[in-house]
Structure formats: structure tokens, C-alpha cells
Amino acid sequence: MKTFETANRLQALPEQFFAKLGQRINNASAGGREIINLAQGSPDQPVFSHIKTALKTAVDNPVNDKYSPFRGYSHVKKACAEFYQREYGVELDPEREVALIIGGKAGLVELPQCLLNPGEVALVPDPGYPDYWSGIALAGANMHMLPLKEENGFLPRYEEIPKEVLEKAKLLFINYPNNPTGAMADSAFFEKTIQFAGEHEICIVHDFAYGAIGFDGKKPVSYLQVEGAKENGIEIYTMSKTYNMAGWRVGFAVGNPSVIAALELIQDHLHCSLYGGIQEAAAAALLGPQDEVHKQEAMYEKRRNLLISGLNEIGWKVTAPEGSFFAWLKVPEGYTSEEFSDLLLEEAGVAVAPGIGFGELGEGYVRAGLVASEEKIKEAVHRLAQLEIFKKQVDSRS
């Protein structure tokens, strides 16, 4: 069979980290072996019942058998604006400052293609969500990595960016609560970010995927709550984590009207909007009761506490995340992140994500998701204790 050569833009794409990771886990589970999967960021809880009911009702409405408007239904955009007003006190023009997107990832990959020309630069966190890289590659643009270090609270230090990079920088990705580190950002950080971006004419993209998950009584701050935010960028919100709608592929972008217009323009050419039933379900989620969202946040905090206390008890000295549903765990001495994650998978049947998959500064860490039941988290800790790796680490220092 003849093989056709792919376009240069496809050859420039980075390896799809999560696809490779998923295949490794599938291989390990071959033959019926039970793997406790803490590696991937897909919620383990069901979609809330009132959201499913809204979809079922929408399916029976013949209007949803037809194409929906290219840019989505106005009443769904209004629901997004009402959600931001209720949760964050942020006023949005539904038609000019809200874009519906096919999941947060789609928006994050499309934005560099909207705003970057070949040779221009996007500022990207390291470690960070790998799909930021994909859109930049498709745009033919370049990346400059912003180190996120534990001693800086996993926040970037803009003053360390070289002048020659700033002259070409047009886009900045930030993400708090952070994937993979679980760090949080406060209003002061966003104020600093807005001042920096304004001085250098850089568009900010705040990936707010974990906006509903903060711990120890701290509610995550929306970038748009800070003065000057709309002037300098946008925020992307996904329904995947707040409402467990990961497979439903729906989210929205809010903020600067020119960026929203660019995002809608590229989507006009790539998609024919979202299925109307999914839009109705999204509106029901945003405007309906939020009790289950708050219960779920408490559930993740309980899981976090169970995992972190359990790991510390067996000798793995780790720090608790402030938000998101991930824990960012230092790898014991003598292992790379991939070696250590392979060891846990093969010897203990516990899957975690190697930190190197999130960037060079992810080396030395693994990411564990709080997306398994308390029973499975306890079992994972028990399996890790049986390896006696951490006891050996303690003994070697004594």
C-alpha cells in the first residue's frame, strides 16, 4: 500500500504524551491485571443527574436534529455570562465576550493558530499541560519555556525572560489551579501578569480547567476578577472537571472581544458548532444547583488528605496540592521520572504520570490524580509500601 507523506505541520507536532501513557497502562493491564490508574486526568464521578435529564429532554426536541448556529445559541452564551457573574462577580457581554468551544483543549490548541505567525513566540509554563505545545507547533511559532519552580510557588518569574524573547512574544499561557503541580495563584499574581503583558503587548490565556477545585477553604481566583484582565487576555473554562462532562466535549472562552472574535472565526471554518443537546445540558449545568459541585470539591480534598498522609506515613515525603485534582510528587533519589513511574506500574500496578511528559522541569516528579475512590487510594498506598522503596531511602540516610 502506498504511503503518502504528511505535511510539515504534522511532522512538527510533539508526541501525544497522554496517548502514549494510556497505551502503556493498557499494556500493563493485559491479561486482567488490576491497575490502579492515577495517571490520567479524567474524573471518575458521573455527570450530575439534572444535567443528564436536560440532555435527554433536548434529544427529543427535533430542533436539535438540525445544525445549531455556527457560534452557538445565544441563551447558552448568556448562561456562561450568568455563571461568571454569580461565581466571580464578572460582567460579560454574551455576544462579544463569550465563545463556545468543543472542550477546553480545542480552544487551547486553536488560539495559537489565531494569534501567532511563524517565528513569533508563545510563553509556556514548564512543567505545563502538553497540549499547549500542539497549537503552537501547528501555528509554526516558537516556544519559550517559563520555569515553574517549587521555591517560587510554581509561579513564573517574568523578570527572567530575555529581552530578545519578549520582542517576539505574543502569547502567554498560564494555568491555576495548576496542572500538573496543584499550585494556586492569587489576585496579586494576576495583577503582576496583567502589568507584564500590557507592557509587552502579549495576550494572556488563562486555562481555568480546575477553577472549581480549591482546598483548605481557598476558592480559586478567576483571572477575569482582576482589573485590566479583559484588556489583556481571555480565560478558558471547561465543563469537564467541574461537572464531570469530559466525554461531552464542551467548554467556553471568555474575555477580550478581539480574541473571542478570532476564536469564533477559526471555529467557523473548522466546525459547525456544538450539538444543540450538549449546549442545553451545558446551560443546565451552569445555571442549575451547584450543591454537587461543592460536595465533589470536598471529596477531592478528602482524597488528597488520604493520599498525602498515607504516602508520608510510608516514608515518601510529599507536599499537598493547593488545588486541582492532582498531586505533584518528588521522585526518590536514584530514579528518573519515567523509571520510577515504570517501576510503580510494573511492580505495584499503580499508574502515575512521569513528570518529564510535562516539560524538562517536570523531571524529578510524578503526577498522581485524585480520580480514584478512597478504597483504591488506600490500596495504592499499601502496594507502594510493599515495595519498601521509601524505607530504603530512609535507611540510606540514617
Residue 369 has a pLDDT of 96
Segments of the chain scoring below 50 in pLDDT: 394, 398
Residue 248 lies in a domain: yes
Q: Are residues 160 and 278 in the same domain?
A: yes
Residue 113 has a pLDDT of 95
Residue 1 lies in a domain: no
As for how many domains the chain has, the answer is 2
Alpha-carbon gap, residue 157 to 379, rounded angstroms: 39
Sheet holding 326-330, edge to edge: 326-330, 365-369, 353-354
Residue 321 has a pLDDT of 97
Q: Which of 265, 287, 309 is the last residue of a domain?
A: 287
Q: Are residues 364 and 264 in the same domain?
A: no
Q: How many CA atoms are closer than 13 Å to the CA of 74, on its beta-carbon side?
A: 3
Whole-model pTM: value is 0.94
Residue 27 has a pLDDT of 81
Q: Which three cell numbers stand for residue 277?
A: 443537546
Residue 168 has a pLDDT of 96
Residue 393 has a pLDDT of 55
Q: Answer whether the bond into residue 177 is a cis peptide, omega within 30°.
A: yes
Residue 2 lies in a domain: no
Q: Which three cell numbers stand for residue 140?
A: 509554526
Q: Are residues 137 and 187 in the same domain?
A: yes
Q: Are residues 164 and 270 in the same domain?
A: yes
pLDDT digits (tens, 9 = 90+) for 306-317: 999 999 999 999
Residue 318 lies in a domain: yes
Q: Are residues 147 and 282 in the same domain?
A: yes
Q: Helix axis angle, 49-59 relative to 276-287, nearest 10°?
A: 150
Residue 398 has a pLDDT of 45
Q: Are residues 261 and 339 in the same domain?
A: no
| Chain center to CA of 124 | 13
Q: Are residues 273 and 393 in the same domain?
A: no
CATH of the domain at 26: 3.90.1150.10
Q: Are residues 13 and 134 in the same domain?
A: no
Q: Are residues 248 and 157 in the same domain?
A: yes
Q: Which of 238, 264, 287 is the last residue of a domain?
A: 287
Q: Are residues 90 and 178 in the same domain?
A: yes
Residue 333 lies in a domain: yes
Residue 395 has a pLDDT of 52
Residue 247 lies in a domain: yes
Q: Are residues 114 and 136 in the same domain?
A: yes
Residue 106 lies in a domain: yes
- Domain limits at 204? 49-287
Alpha-carbon gap, residue 91 to 227, rounded angstroms: 12
Q: Which of 244, 261, 287 is the last residue of a domain?
A: 287
Alpha-carbon gap, residue 189 to 206, rounded angstroms: 12
